[in-house]
Amino acid sequence: MTNTSISFQNLDPASFLERTAMVYPDKPAVVYNGKTLSYAEYHERSRRLAAALQKAGVSKGDRVAFLCPNVPAMLEGYFGPLGIGAVLVALNTRLSSKEIAYVLHHSGSKVLVFDSEFAPTVKSFIDETPGVKTFVQVLDTHPQDPAIPGPDYESFIAQVDPIAVLSGSDSELDTIAINYTSGTTGFPKGVEYTARGAYLNAIGEVLEIGLNWESSYLWTLPMFHASGWCYPWAVTAVGGAHVCLRRVDPDEVYQLIRERGITHMCAAPTVLTAMYSSPAAEGQDLSGLNIMTAGAPPAPQVIRTIEQMGARIHHVYGLTETYGPHTICAPQPSWSDLSPDDRAQTKARQGVPYIINGTELRVVDEGMTDVIRDGETMGEVVMRGNNVMARYHNDEEATETAFKGGWFHSGDLGVWHPDGYIELRDRAKDIIISGGENISTQEVEKVIMDHPAVLEVSVVGVPDDRWGEVPKAFVVVREGQEVTAESIITFTQERIARFKAPKHVEFGELPKTSTGKIQKYVLREKEWAGHESRIQGSQV
């Protein structure tokens, strides 16, 4: 009989920091604003955070929310709560105060650690979130707001002795993080990550992009986004250096790449576009830099341009529900014989499953039958495996719908090529992906319809040089009313997150079917005429 105490160990991402602090105690772990934390210091600070949370009344299973940009405290948030069996809720810093308040309430968070830059937002909902008992301010670029009770972060973790070991999970199937979607069908849904799934997906990142102890990883991807695609755990697992970046600025990105010897980074295509279109791009040599990109399928031109600067692009695809990337456009030896244009076109496909997921990826018709692998027949992309979410938090109905037929339904439409690689062609829902963030057109439309001068409205994604695509509202004005585009935009910005509001407004009649249904595809095709094909999915 197998002795499981000898032959089995729970997979727990917290163990990554425990091991690396032992193996590489003096190696640079976190670099930010000219300061460097060693792995021994990173380990101690994370253990202090765990102890401080315990002192604040946080127990196993309790939720701890973080509202921070890519600063060291956010990295510590990926280990401190886990060290005592608590659950991390990393909040999207671009959400409106109403949306953040909803997430705090829905998740049942007891503690909110937030960057003081967001103090005005926190003050606006503090009375609506009585379940949050402790507020902690991270002081970086803004002073502490005295109107919000609670300590600053450094005082919070300095008042306690660190716990001995970061090992709070009783089971590898325990939930360790809840990541909220961008609200593509109204209010966001909470996606539960388990210790096992996070551990294995982190190992998947290590394998697919080639991380090791010499790696220097630049944080251009928001850490709040799908647990930073599990890179807080992946980079730590191999003893790489986390180079933090509060805001993505092309000039600073290039500077850090040079000065810190950056070897790896993740970025939405919009970030890559900003990089190569910046005046600072001239003369840049990105040789040796590995870039993982997703959030919206990159246009071949984006891949071609960045790789001509010397970088290597790793195109991946996934969703919040898959811990970030689930597939990668794995390179083939024969691709080196292709022309730059053909190679970029080939690498723009979404690819094959991560190593950790075997072959658990399909494109199916409505009856869950595999479509023909001809690169033309469309179906829905479905997947399962080690990095598919456990469930939607407190939403059994949505979970059952997503897992219908024993597979996770992405809602994205694609084709299956003869070589087994998938390629997205459209989406089942009219989601807009702007700067890597998902926007529900229906949510935006509902807000605009509340404007007294609006009779009808339809919102679609239109091309944008910076964000890839942004919302545009097509508005039919009520008879006898007058309204400007600026007033529609302002009206919307006051009610939902600013990035969800339309950037453009056009007035006139809407194209409709004989039954009165608005033909969004007509609006979309007109806007995208002359641009590279809009191939996007509901992605990470």
Average pLDDT over residues 426-435: 71
The least confident of 37-46, 103-112, 497-506, 515-524 is: 515-524
The answer to whether 245 touches 70, Cβ cutoff 8 Å, is yes
Q: Which helix (H) or strand (E) is 345 found in, with range?
A: helix 340-347
What is residue 124's predicted lDDT score, i.e. its pLDDT? 95
Please return the burial class of 7, using the count of CB atoms within 10 Å of its CB with bins 0-12, 13-18 and 19+: exposed
What is residue 476's predicted lDDT score, i.e. its pLDDT? 87
What is residue 390's predicted lDDT score, i.e. its pLDDT? 97
Give the confidence band of 354 by pLDDT, cuts at 50, 70, 90: very high
Q: How many domains does the chain have?
A: 2
pLDDT at 185 over 60: no
DSSP structure string for 494-529: TTS-GGGS-SEEEESPPPB-TTS-B-HHHHHHHHHT
Distant-in-sequence contacts of 137-141, Cβ < 8 A, 24+ apart: 138/68, 138/71, 138/73, 138/113, 138/114, 140/71, 140/115, 140/116, 140/246, 141/117, 141/246
**Structural domain boundaries, residue 124:** 10-247
The answer to whether 223 touches 243, Cβ cutoff 8 Å, is no
What is residue 430's predicted lDDT score, i.e. its pLDDT? 67
**DSSP state at residue 480:** T
Indicate whether 257 belongs to any domain: no
The least confident of 242-251, 347-356, 520-529 is: 520-529
Q: At 152, is the secondary structure helix, strand, or coil?
A: strand
Give the confidence band of 537 by pLDDT, cuts at 50, 70, 90: very low
The least confident of 99-108, 235-244, 358-367, 460-469 is: 460-469
Question: On the CB side of 493, how many CA atoms lie within 13 Å of its CA?
Answer: 11
Indicate whether 179 belongs to any domain: yes
> In one letter, which amino acid is 525?
E
Q: What is the model's pTM?
A: 0.83
Calpha distance 244→252 (Å, rounded): 11
Indicate whether 346 belongs to any domain: no
What is residue 392's predicted lDDT score, i.e. its pLDDT? 97
Indicate whether 3 belongs to any domain: no
Give the confidence band of 442 by pLDDT, cuts at 50, 70, 90: low
Tokens read off for 331:
């390179």
Average pLDDT over residues 447-473: 89
Q: Mean pLDDT, the chain, as a whole number?
A: 91
Where is the domain boundary, 247, 265, 299?
247
Average pLDDT over residues 240-262: 96
What pLDDT, in 10s, does the model give residues 218-232?
999 999 999 999 999
CATH number at residue 120: 3.40.50.12780
Calpha distance 423→537 (Å, rounded): 10
Indicate whether 108 belongs to any domain: yes
Where is the domain boundary, 224, 247, 270?
247
| Chain centre distance of CA 171 | 26
Give the confidence band of 427 by pLDDT, cuts at 50, 70, 90: low
CATH number at residue 501: 3.30.300.30
Q: At 196, is the secondary structure helix, strand, or coil?
A: helix
The least confident of 128-132, 275-279, 406-410 is: 275-279
The answer to whether 105 touches 63, Cβ cutoff 8 Å, is no
**DSSP state at residue 158:** H
Please state, as a whole number, how many other Cβ atoms lie within 10 Å of the Cβ of residue 252.
15
Indicate whether 126 belongs to any domain: yes
Report residue 439: phi and psi, to 5°. Answer: -130, 130
Where is the domain boundary, 247, 264, 297?
247
Average pLDDT over residues 53-82: 98
